[in-house]
Amino acid sequence: MSTMAAEVESLESILEEFIPTEKQKFVKHLLYGQELSSLDLPDEAKSLAQRQNFELKGYLFPAAPESTRAPRIVRIAGIQNKIVLPTTEPVLVQRDALFARISELINCAALCGVNVLCLQEVWTMPFAFCTREKLPWSEFAESALHGPTTKLLQELAIRHNMVIVSPILERDEERGDVLANTAVVISNTGQVLGKSRKNHIPRVGDFNESTYYMEGDTGHKVFQTQFGKIAVNICYGRHHPQNWMLYGVNGAEIVFNPSATVGALSEPLWPIEARNAAIANSYFTCAINRVGTEVFASEFTSGDGKPAHRDLGHFYGSSYVTAPDGSRTPGLSRTKDGIVIAEVDLNLCRQVKDKWGFRMTQRLELYAKELNEVLKQDWKPDVITE
């Protein structure tokens, strides 16, 4: 399945090819909600994307004008990419090649006026946790505050007046050198605003991350930036509606979901989860997935009796943005590096809350009470039998 699917460029390319033109509007309305117009992006950015072989897509999410609040227009973006060099190259050579590639893409996002940008999960390295090997992969880990990745992005954040969310493998030097899967939030002033760690660690397929780091301990932080309140729900956390919910309870207006996931495992879930979270929590979401197949030197098994293998499968990209009213952009390519940009009016969050009332009808007190009971040792499921 994954080999076959890897040849498909995108769901959208199939729709364009096979759905008759007169039916396209209806099909896209069901799949994507209200039709979005494309952003007019600068020619310089478009030619940079062409020269450097990455996709560049921009969309406009409208909101109603209000008489008591000015629009709060911001441009948000997600970057998806392949690793640049084979996983057998020295650690620093691999990392520096990614630094160079991603700096190019960030420059392009800056030309497009992006205010807040998020990179993919552990963007500085291959997704090597499938191997269960400690070395050399743990050498990619670095301090969230002073590491080379943060230093690089602090410079770019200042240069481009851009908030950058940088998901890395963190080495917590102050707390016993332990590893964590962490998104560092770097303000447009260059300050590290803080960090948000991955709350839910997968125990599925070849995602052997629990060998390397524990569940995050940073809760559901929301970062007040100059361009709105943002939060980061890292990869597997997107399967947990309560995780999404608490970022919303803390007031997030945009939640990024930097991910690394493969076709055979999760592709049918991908278009649903971040989109549903945007609807349920009246905020914008931006789901970002890496691209390509990463091959490792040593074989590993999945503990399922099937033959050993040297790759996790095809990372299918397909990054997209959803608005609180459920309208979403098409996905980026399944095979190519890319930037998805959305110009949003953050006023839409409150407009959708007023329309649908999901926050008002949320009944947090009901769930808090019942969940408290569930956690007690003597709890029994509330099932009535005849």
Ligand X SMILES: NC(=O)NCCC(=O)O
Active site residues: 121, 198, 235
Q: Residue holding tokens 């007046």?
A: 161
Work out how close the CB of 121 gets to ligand X at its nearest, in angstroms, rounded to a whole number.
6
Residues 158-187 that bind ligand X (CB under 6 A): none
- Binding status of residue 261 toward ligand X by CB under 6 A: yes
Site for ligand X in 70-109 (CB under 6 A): none
Binding span for ligand X by CB under 6 A among 71-79, 101-109, 254-262, 373-381: 254-262
Measured CA to CA, the distance from residue 124 to residue 336 in angstroms comes to 17
- How far apart CA 40 and CA 51 sit, in angstroms, is 19
- Residue with tokens 């117009």, as numbered in its chain: 37
- Give the residue with the Cβ less far from ligand X, 61 or 315: 315
Part of the chain binding ligand X (CB under 6 A), chosen from 70-78, 91-99, 257-265, 340-348: 257-265
Q: Given the complex with ligand X, which of 112 and 260 has the nearer CB atom?
A: 260
| Residue 248 phi, psi dihedral angles, 5° rounding | -70, -40
Site for ligand X in 294-313 (CB under 6 A): none
Name which of residues 193 to 252 contact ligand X (CB under 6 A). 202, 207, 235-236
Q: What is the DSSP letter of 240?
A: -
Q: Which of these segments, 49-57, 62-70, 256-264, 320-328, binds ligand X (CB under 6 A)?
A: 256-264
Which is closer to ligand X, CB of 61 or CB of 207? Answer: 207
Strand 116-118 relative to strand 338-345: parallel, antiparallel, unpaired? unpaired
User: At its nearest, how many Å lie between ligand X and the CB of residue 205?
Assistant: 7
Q: Measured from the CB atom, is 240 or 336 closer to ligand X?
A: 240
Q: Mention every residue, 6+ apart, whose C-beta is less than 8 A from residue 361.
A: none
| Number of shown-chain residues binding ligand X (CB under 6 A) | 10
Residue among 230, 349, 360 at smallest CA distance from 278:
349
Residues 11-30, mask of contacts with ligand X (x by CB under 6 A): --------------------
Near ligand X in 327-356, by CB under 6 A: none
Radius of gyration of the chain (CA): 21
| SS3 of the chain: helix, strand, coil, percent, to 5 | 35, 25, 40
Q: In what order do the strands lie in the sheet with 228-232?
A: 223-225, 228-232, 254-259, 284-289, 320-322
Stretch that binds ligand X, among 52-60, 261-269, 329-337, 339-347 (CB under 6 A): 261-269
**Strands 55-60 and 338-345, bridge-based pairing:** parallel
Distance CA 284, CA 255 (A): 6
Nearest residue (CB) to ligand X, 166 versus 188: 166
Is residue 126 a contact point for ligand X (CB under 6 A)? Answer: no
Q: How far is the CB of 322 from ligand X (least distance, A)?
A: 17
Q: Where are the alpha helices (DSSP H) in 10-147?
A: 11-18, 21-32, 43-51, 91-111
Shortest distance (Å) from residue 365 CB to ligand X: 31
Which listed residue (32, 48, 111, 121) binds ligand X by CB under 6 A? Answer: 121
* DSSP character string of 321-361: EE-TTS-BPPP--SSS-EEEEEEEETHHHHHHHHHH-TTTT
Q: Which stretch binds ligand X (CB under 6 A): 162-170, 213-221, 259-267, 351-359?
A: 259-267
Q: Is 265 in the site for ligand X (CB under 6 A)?
A: yes
- Rounded Cα distance, 316 and 243, in Å: 24
Position among 260, 291, 339, 341 found at the interface with ligand X (CB under 6 A): 260
Give just the sign of the alpha carbon dihedral 239, 356, 78, 9: positive
Instruction: Compare residues 61 and 129 and give the one whose CB is closer to ligand X.
Output: 129
What residues numbered 266-285 form the site for ligand X, per CB under 6 A? 266
- Of 280 and 312, CB closest to ligand X: 312
In angstroms, the CA 378 to CA 363 distance is 25
> Where along the sequence are the contacts to ligand X (CB under 6 A)?
121, 202, 207, 235-236, 259-261, 265-266
